Structure 1
Amino acid sequence: MENRQTLEELYDGYILGQLSAEELMDFIQRVQESDNAPILEQLVDNSFSQHTIVVDELEGKKAFYRFQKRLQLSNDTPTPSPRTKSSLHKLWRYVAATAAILLMVFLGKQYSIQRSSEVKVAHYQSIQDIKPGNTIAYIENTNGIQTPLAAEGELFVRDSYLQDGSGHILPHQKVDEEWLNLVVPKGGKYSITLSDGSKVIINSDSKLSFPKHFTATDRHIKLRGEAYFEVSHNPEKPFIVETALQRVRVLGTSFNIAAYPEERTVTTLVTGKVNINTADESRSLEPGMQGIITSGMIQVQPADLESALAWKNDKFVFVKTPLTDIIKQLERWYNVSINIQAGSESLSQKTFSGTIAKDASFEELLKLFKTTESIKVEVREGRIYLMK
C-alpha cells in the first residue's frame, strides 16, 4: 500500500515536472520494477481519461528504448532475466504515454511563458503593420498551467472535461478542478458555454473565472474586463457575476458588463431583469437601462444599446465619445500603445462619432478621425503618437 502511494505521488510529480533529481531517480527505478506495471497501467489509463493523446506505437517503442538506454539497461548492465525483460517490453507503452502527457504539460508551461510576452503591448514599425484582433484566448488552471484555445473561438464546459470549437478535448483539466480562468488577452475575443448552458462572450483584455460545476444553490462566476451574458433561465439557482465593485444577480437574462480596472463599471441590461449590489446600495435594472458605479453609488440611466454592445457585434460605434475613451478601446483590440503627444493635450477633450467594423485595419480606422479633426499620427519606437 505504501509503495502504491509513493509511486502515485512520484507519478503526479513527474507529470507536473516537479520532481527533484533524487525523486526522479527514485521514480525511474520504480518504473523498472515489473511488480509496478499494474499500478503504472492504471495511472496512465487515468491520465488518458483526462487528456486526448494519440501515441504512435512505433514512436512509442523508440521512445521506450531511448529511455531504456538512458537507464543503462541496454548495453551497460547484465542481461535481465526473462521475466524482467518481458516486463520491460510491456512497459514501453506506459513510458511512451507518460512522456506524451509530460510533453503536453511542458508545452503548456512553455505556452505560459510565451503568453506572458504576447499579452504585452506589441511594438510596430509602421501603421500598416497594425492588424485587428482575432479569436485568441487560453485556459488557465489552479496550477498556473495555460493551454491555448482553438481559433474557432468557442469553449464548451462538459460534464467532466472542456472542449473547444474544433472538437478537441483540452489537456491539463482535472474533473475535480474547482475553478478555471478563461483569459482573453489584448487583441482577442472568445466565447464560452458554461455547464448550465449559459453563454458568455468575452472581450479583449478580460478574464472570466468559473467553476466546472456550479453549486446546488447558485451559479457564481467572476469577471475582470468586459463580457456579454446570455443566461439560461433557472429560478432555483440565481446566476451571480462578481466584479471588483459589484455583484450582479439574475435568474435568466441577457446583459453586458464592462468592469475594466481603473475604469467605471457599467452594467447594461438587454432582456430580463438584474439586481446590482455594491457595498453601499442595491438597484434593479429594466431592459434598455444601465447601471454605472461611481464612488460606490449606482447611477441608473437609459442605455445606448448599439454603442454598449458594438464590440460583441464586431463593430466600433462612437457617439460623441471622448478620444481618451476611444484610445482605450483601440489599445485593447489592436494591442497597441497610443499616446497623445506632449503639446497636443487638447486632443483629449475632443469627441468623435462614427461606426466602423472591427476587422478594419488600423490605418482605415484613423481615417474616421481625420474626417472631422486634423490629427497627425507617428510611429516611434513601436508606439503610436497622436498630435495636432
Structure 2
Amino acid sequence: MNRNSAEKFLKKYAAGDYTEAEHAEFLNWLDSASDADTEEILQQMAQHFEHQPADEHEPNTLLVSGIESQLDKADQRKNRRWYSSIINWAALLVVVSGVGLFAYTSFFKTPETKLIARQQKIVPGTNKGYLQLASGRRIVLNQAANGLLAVEGNIRIYKTGDGQLKYIQKGRSKQHGANVLMTPHGGQYQVTLVDGTHVWLNAASSIRIPLSFNPQERRIDLTGEGYFEVTKNKHKPFTVCVDRMEVKVLGTHFNVCAYADEPSINTTLLEGSVKVYKNGKCKMIVPGQQARVTDDIKVCSVNVQDVVEWKNGNFSFSHEDIQSIMRKLSRWYDVEVSYVGKPTHEGFVGMLPRSSEISEVLNMLELTKVVHFKIDGRRIIVMK
C-alpha cells in the first residue's frame, strides 16, 4: 500500500465500508510509513472525526494501536516537528460535537504541553495491599519477600515472583476461618484461590477468602471492584456477595464494581453466564451484558472491554462524565477531588495507561477545552 491507497482506505473507513484485509493492509502500511505520510493521514483522520456525529465515536482499537506504534517511534526519534503536528492532530480530535476524544499515547510527555494540571508530580498506583490472616497476623504484601508467606492449617499461601498471591491446599482436611485481602487507594493485587479461580482486585477494594469452601458452594465477599476468572465446577457454584446482592456462577469471566460512591453495583459478563440476585429478584445476563443493581436490577448491553481495561493496566472511558472519571482517578492516584461550580456533563471517550502520572491524564482531559484542573497538594480541583 502507498499513501494514495491509504487515503482511499480512509474514505472507506469513514463510510464504514471496508474489509478486514484492507484494514490489516492499512495497519501494516502505517507501521512503516514515513513521518510526512503518516502526518498527512492523521490530519485526514482528524477531519473525519471532527465531522462525525457524537454518537458514532467508537474508537477502532486496532487502528489506535497502529497509530500508537507510529507515535512510539516518533518518541524515540525525539522529532519535535513530528510532535508538534501530532499535538495539532490530537487537538482537532479531542473536541468533536461536544465529546472529548483522545488516544492513549505517550507523546504528550513532551515539554510543549504546559497546561494547568502540570504543576505537581502525583504518581500512579502500584501492586500493593494487605493480607489479614485468620490468626490475626497482618502482612504488608508489597514489603513481603517472594515465596511462602504463611501456613494456616492445610493451606499454604505464597507470594509469587510476579507479585501475586497463590493459595494451595495440602491434604483434604477442612480449615476454618478466612483471610481478607485488602488494597488501599493507589493499590491493586491479584490472587489465585485454592480452586484455581483467579481474582484481580482494583484499588480501595477487599475480598474475604475462606480457607475452605463449604461442600455446597464457593462463596467470597467483595467490597470495591474485582474481576473474576472462575474455575468451572458444575457441582459447586461460585458466589460473590456484595452487601445484600449476590452473583452466582459455575465457571465464567466477569467483573463486579461495587464501590459505595458509585450510583449502582455493576456486574459485567465477558464469558459464560451469571445470575444476579437482589431483594428476592433474579436476572440472568449473557456475555456483553451488564446488570446494574440499585433497589432493582436493570440489564443493558455494554462494551465489556471498556469495563475491564483497568485489569490490563488502562483507563478506558466510554462517554463518561467528568465525575465518573474523577472517582476512578481518586481511587487510583489516592487523591481528593473537589469542584468549582457545576461539573460539566460532557461525555469523554478514550484510553490512557494507568501507569501515567496524573498530570498526563489531566492534561489529556484539558485538551477537550471543556474542563480544567488545578493541583493543590493531593487535592485535584476541577473547573470549567
* 1:136 alignment partner in structure 2: 128
Counterpart of 1:134, as a letter, is: T
1:331 partner SS: helix
Which one has more relative contact order, counting CA pairs under 8 Å at least 6 apart?
2
Cα pair distance change 1:155/1:181, threshold 3 Å? farther
The offset of 1:169, in angstroms, is 12
1:326 partner SS: helix
- Counterpart Cα distance in 2 of 1:266 and 1:155: 35
Cα pair distance change 1:186/1:153, threshold 3 Å? farther
Cα pair distance change 1:330/1:310, threshold 3 Å? same
- Which stretch shifts more, 350-359 or 252-261? 350-359
The offset of 1:144, in angstroms, is 4.7
Give yes or no for contact 2:230–2:250 (8 Å, CA) kept in 1.
yes
Note the residue ranges of structure 1 that are not aligned, 5 or more in a row. 1-124
2:325 partner SS: helix
Alignment of 1:1-388 (within 5 A): 127-142=119-134, 144-150=136-142, 159-166=154-161, 176-263=175-262, 264-295=264-295, 297-341=296-340, 344-345=341-342, 347-380=343-376, 382-388=378-384
1:223 partner SS: strand
Cα pair distance change 1:198/1:131, threshold 3 Å? same
Q: Which string of whole-angstrom CA distances, capped at 9 and with x for unpartnered residues, describes residues 301-337 of structure 1?
A: 1121121111111111111101110010000001111
Give yes or no for contact 1:154–1:192 (8 Å, CA) kept in 2.
no
Give yes or no for contact 2:146–2:163 (8 Å, CA) kept in 1.
no
Cα pair distance change 1:127/1:141, threshold 3 Å? farther
- Counterpart Cα distance in 2 of 1:141 and 1:238: 25
Counterpart of 1:197, as a letter, is: G
Counterpart of 1:357, as a letter, is: P
- Counterpart Cα distance in 1 of 2:162 and 2:139: 15
- RMSD of aligned Cα (Å): 2.9
Cα pair distance change 1:169/1:202, threshold 3 Å? closer
Cα pair distance change 1:351/1:249, threshold 3 Å? same
Q: Which string of whole-angstrom CA distances, capped at 9 and with x for unpartnered residues, describes residues 23-48 of structure 1?
A: xxxxxxxxxxxxxxxxxxxxxxxxxx
**Highest CA radius of gyration, 1 or 2?**
1
1:247 partner SS: strand
* 1:36 alignment partner in structure 2: none
- Counterpart Cα distance in 1 of 2:383 and 2:180: 39
* 2:8 alignment partner in structure 1: none
Q: Calculate the TM-score normalised by the size of structure 2.
A: 0.62
- Counterpart Cα distance in 1 of 2:218 and 2:257: 20
Give yes or no for contact 1:153–1:191 (8 Å, CA) kept in 2.
no
Cα pair distance change 1:139/1:216, threshold 3 Å? same
- Counterpart Cα distance in 2 of 1:253 and 1:215: 20
- Counterpart Cα distance in 2 of 1:166 and 1:266: 32
Give yes or no for contact 2:120–2:375 (8 Å, CA) kept in 1.
no
- Counterpart Cα distance in 2 of 1:154 and 1:352: 43
1:310 partner SS: helix
- Counterpart Cα distance in 2 of 1:249 and 1:311: 23
Q: How many residues align?
A: 257
The offset of 1:228, in angstroms, is 0.5
Q: Percent identity?
A: 30
Q: Which string of whole-angstrom CA distances, capped at 9 and with x for unpartnered residues, describes residues 104-148 of structure 1?
A: xxxxxxxxxxxxxxxxxxxxx984320011001110134653211
Give yes or no for contact 2:217–2:239 (8 Å, CA) kept in 1.
yes
Q: Calculate the TM-score normalised by the size of structure 1.
A: 0.61
Give the strand-richer structure, 1 or 2. 2
- Counterpart Cα distance in 1 of 2:344 and 2:377: 22
Give yes or no for contact 1:354–1:368 (8 Å, CA) kept in 2.
no
- Counterpart Cα distance in 2 of 1:316 and 1:168: 21
- Counterpart Cα distance in 1 of 2:247 and 2:147: 24
1:311 partner SS: helix
- Counterpart Cα distance in 1 of 2:201 and 2:164: 21
Counterpart of 2:376, as a letter, is: R
